[in-house]
Chain A
């Protein structure tokens, strides 16, 4: 053999090195792909990438075997005439034939009843495009996989602190001293969490894992606390009980930055029971918390407007307003609620000894209180107070599906968000930190449509298919209170289903409940296998026929790169490309890869040509949008607006001249702007020259306390990331949920359930 030291890989064949973004999982690490004679030689982490800093995981390193997998689909396929669905009998067809079939079918549906077309996608990273396609088509029946993944994590946290774990925020392990990981099934996040966790441990941080199982991350925990599944909420409530009992909460933080001290009407006989007492003032309509609420002033012993300078309010007690209204501070309601949730009570439920629960609470409370971090960073809050430093209480948490995938998940996660708030750790060093475009108002502004009239033939949907209800009137139900969506999202049954309920789509469509559909388009969603519950029966539903011999779900289109279990059930198969063969945008309009220090988005740029007749699903959507004449995809004369997906990404604006598009970096005619600016014809090239990502690092004074940081919020508004530069007060108490409770009791002035 040749002496290895005299050999250089760069001399072996024709070598090319290209950068793009990984897609072997959902992390979106930056990668460098080396090709030899046009074949993939190796894939390594991009050391300059902010997300993975050169690291790559087992899957990322195995991308070669994905590219050359024998499971690859390479041709559009049509179920053979006479072949039964599920038998995997297909004939190759041309793309033109496939497009004609879909166009014919969909244009008829769109002209008659657009909701008979349903588009559901798996863990796609183009939800801004797939969602927009559905809206433009006019169907409300769209969602991605969030409903069967971790929507509770997103909803529970966003409805409480205005941000959530993973894409929109996470634990600041660079500065934390105590880290509690509760209920992660070795899932989100992968490489960045590994990197941060290892550095945290090296620095001597203490890592506690609360999980029924000790594998992966939990293996390196300093302490493993086994817990019974689904009982995390009880544990968190008991810890909260102990923290309040010992006074181990950050009072100053709670008063200034949360609704803890705000006075809630406390009289079950009244229609406004459980709502904040608000005083009359002129308020601009908008999705922010107007500051027309009250505190109880300790010194004057009477009600006073919140955030009145110099006032110290009560967190506890019960009071009568001047007009006789009985009220309690929100914090008192929390205290009342957790009064009975002692560590002994939780020990029985969780299987964790009461002494351990108390010790966990003490560790959290004392570290947060006594190991404070003070960074010499000046900032100004939304009330105009200047601060000479940023304070951090260095206790960080991470949680994911272990909490989320239970029917009590939303409330468990709200409890966790409240615990993090009591410790004073929100968007502070060593605690939880937001990632742009979060924090957003609680709840964020977009709303789903709120009635069946939003769905009209040949018309885009009036509203977003997915949004953030803040009151019963935002539900997407008809006059009888019945769901408009096929998956019954935003109904009285599942009011805050902000990611939809993909797991019920096939069953509902099969049963015709609430109605029958015609065409179901699935992208990257393995609904005949691991993405469905009750899989064996779902497979039967996919092939079930009605009395007339027609399939109950009449037409099923599957777009995938591989011969998955679901492909067998398709009537039409659209072969997608791999991640190495396509353009993609990890957009600020969807779920970007932002860091704690500022917005980051990224792209994929093909490193190898597509195999066979594979076509990126985005190109399919652009083509269909153009053929169907969906307004966003055609000019006024009905002609095609975008050449292809890369052209669409560069030139699409959320509204004409808005300057907001899919990519935030290098906007403006010459690439001189970011976040907002005219389309830049060289935008792809500029991403390519910069490792396929755009990273804007915020000034230090904008990097913390962003819910209430005037500088940051005004900057975010100026760059159109947010509509209002108003404080995003933490909902320790959720008035949103109380509105639904009042409706259930018949006390809500608007919509009430049937």
Chain B
């Protein structure tokens, strides 16, 4: 691994409100964490030429992701990190294709390879612990740099918005006022 070119470790943590990744599309929970940032120590950000809230690229040897940076003093300077599985593909999980999860949220997985580069042990060795086959998510190394002026202020990669499927509820309206006993009828949710 070329740690000169890719000097930083990149990790994910669970948001405290979101232990386990399921259901982050939940109407209440998504108001707590509607998109994620890359958390960066200010000294690391300064060295890489960007500021708090700026659009940046995270690049590993296999892929790169565009996202927003957020300064944090609660991370050691050699590490950058983000919340796990807040980012979603546009149109998935019953959310609008414009939802923050897909437009401002991102998935770090794009920069983490499932295989190692070809090496003497084999062409297609798993990116895993060689004893147990545990996926080595947290081994990934990255570099970070500011996005160019004029780049779209949306996370990358983006995918063609996913269509709703038959049997899903019709698109919900602008307002939701949940009151037990009266909700399904009002929201036209089929039994």
- Do any CB atoms of chain A lie under 8 A from CB atoms of chain B in the complex? yes
A27 within 8 A of B: yes
**Set of chain B residues within 8 Å of A406, measured between Cβ atoms:** 129, 136, 138-139
B98 within 8 A of A: no
B20 near A66 with CB under 8 A, answer no
With contacts A68-B189, A538-B114 taken as known, whether A493 is within 8 angstroms of B162 at the C-beta atoms is: no
A291-336, CB < 8 A from B: none
A187 within 8 A of B: yes
Per-residue interface assignment for chain A, residues 148 to 170, with 1 indicating a CB less than 8 Å from any chain B CB and 0 otherwise:
11111001100000000000000
**Set of chain B residues within 8 Å of A529, measured between Cβ atoms:** 85, 88-89, 92, 107, 109
> Which stretch (A361-369, A562-570, A696-704) binds chain B?
A562-570
Per-residue interface assignment for chain A, residues 208 to 227, with 1 indicating a CB less than 8 Å from any chain B CB and 0 otherwise:
00001111100000000011
B114 near A532 with CB under 8 A, answer yes
Selected from B75, B85, B135, B170, the residue in CB contact (under 8 A) with A503 is B135
> Which stretch (B6-14, B45-53, B146-154) binds chain A?
B6-14
Selected from A37, A190, A213, A536, the residue in CB contact (under 8 A) with B74 is A213
Alpha-carbon separation in the docked complex, A613 to B166 (Å): 12
B138 near A562 with CB under 8 A, answer no
Per-residue interface assignment for chain B, residues 154 to 191, with 1 indicating a CB less than 8 Å from any chain A CB and 0 otherwise:
00010100111111111110000010111110010111
**Set of chain A residues within 8 Å of B114, measured between Cβ atoms:** 503-504, 507, 532-534, 538
With contacts A213-B79, A407-B130 taken as known, whether A402 is within 8 angstroms of B184 at the C-beta atoms is: no
Per-residue interface assignment for chain A, residues 601 to 621, with 1 indicating a CB less than 8 Å from any chain B CB and 0 otherwise:
000000001011100000000
**Set of chain B residues within 8 Å of A150, measured between Cβ atoms:** 134
For A42, A215, A230, which residue has the most chain B Cβ atoms within 10 angstroms? A215
A716 within 8 A of B: no
A24 near B22 with CB under 8 A, answer yes
With contacts A73-B167, A229-B138, A405-B136 taken as known, whether A530 is within 8 angstroms of B107 at the C-beta atoms is: yes
A216 near B181 with CB under 8 A, answer no
CB distance from A29 to the nearest CB of B (A): 11
A226 near B190 with CB under 8 A, answer no
**Set of chain B residues within 8 Å of A70, measured between Cβ atoms:** 94, 168-172
CB distance from A563 to the nearest CB of B (A): 6
Selected from B85, B126, B138, B164, the residue in CB contact (under 8 A) with A230 is B138
With contacts A36-B181, A228-B78 taken as known, whether A407 is within 8 angstroms of B127 at the C-beta atoms is: yes
Nearest neighbor of B20 in chain A, beta-carbon distance: A25
B92 near A534 with CB under 8 A, answer no
With contacts A88-B165, A212-B11, A216-B16 taken as known, whether A39 is within 8 angstroms of B190 at the C-beta atoms is: no
A91 within 8 A of B: yes
A77 near B130 with CB under 8 A, answer no
With contacts A25-B22, A228-B9 taken as known, whether A568 is within 8 angstroms of B162 at the C-beta atoms is: yes
Selected from B13, B112, B157, the residue in CB contact (under 8 A) with A186 is B13
Nearest neighbor of A566 in chain B, beta-carbon distance: B92
Selected from B9, B62, B136, the residue in CB contact (under 8 A) with A407 is B136
**Set of chain B residues within 8 Å of A81, measured between Cβ atoms:** none
Dominant secondary structure of chain A at its interface with chain B: loop
**Set of chain A residues within 8 Å of B159, measured between Cβ atoms:** 539
Nearest neighbor of B111 in chain A, beta-carbon distance: A534
CB distance from B58 to the nearest CB of A (A): 13
> Which stretch (A57-65, A280-288, A637-645) binds chain B?
A57-65
**Set of chain B residues within 8 Å of A12, measured between Cβ atoms:** 181
> Which stretch (A126-134, A429-437, A494-502) binds chain B?
A494-502
**Set of chain A residues within 8 Å of B112, measured between Cβ atoms:** 533-534
Per-residue interface assignment for chain A, residues 489 to 524, with 1 indicating a CB less than 8 Å from any chain B CB and 0 otherwise:
100011111111101100100010100000000000
Selected from A123, A511, A534, the residue in CB contact (under 8 A) with B20 is A123
Selected from B28, B76, B109, the residue in CB contact (under 8 A) with A535 is B109
**Set of chain A residues within 8 Å of B168, measured between Cβ atoms:** 70-74, 563
CB distance from B6 to the nearest CB of A (A): 13
A40-71, CB < 8 A from B: 40-42, 57-59, 62, 64-66, 68-71
Alpha-carbon separation in the docked complex, A565 to B126 (Å): 24
A563 near B94 with CB under 8 A, answer yes
Selected from B14, B93, B95, B135, the residue in CB contact (under 8 A) with A147 is B135
CB distance from B119 to the nearest CB of A (A): 12
A114-136, CB < 8 A from B: 123
**Residues of B at under 8 Å CB distance from A?**
9, 11-23, 25-29, 32, 39, 62-63, 74-76, 78-79, 81, 84-85, 87-89, 92-95, 107, 109-110, 112-115, 121-122, 124-139, 157, 159, 162-172, 178, 180-184, 187, 189-191
11 A-B pairs whose Cβ atoms sit less than 8 Å apart in the complex = A27-B19, A38-B181, A58-B18, A90-B166, A228-B9, A410-B131, A500-B133, A511-B124, A528-B89, A533-B112, A533-B113
**Residues of A at under 8 Å CB distance from B?**
12-13, 24-27, 35-42, 57-59, 62, 64-66, 68-75, 77, 87-92, 123, 147-152, 155-156, 185-187, 190, 212-216, 226-230, 351, 401-402, 404-411, 487-489, 493-501, 503-504, 507, 511, 513, 526, 528-530, 532-539, 562-565, 567-568, 573, 575, 609, 611-613, 737
Give the 6 A-B CB pairs with smallest separation, nearest first. A71-B94, A497-B133, A75-B167, A494-B133, A25-B20, A70-B94
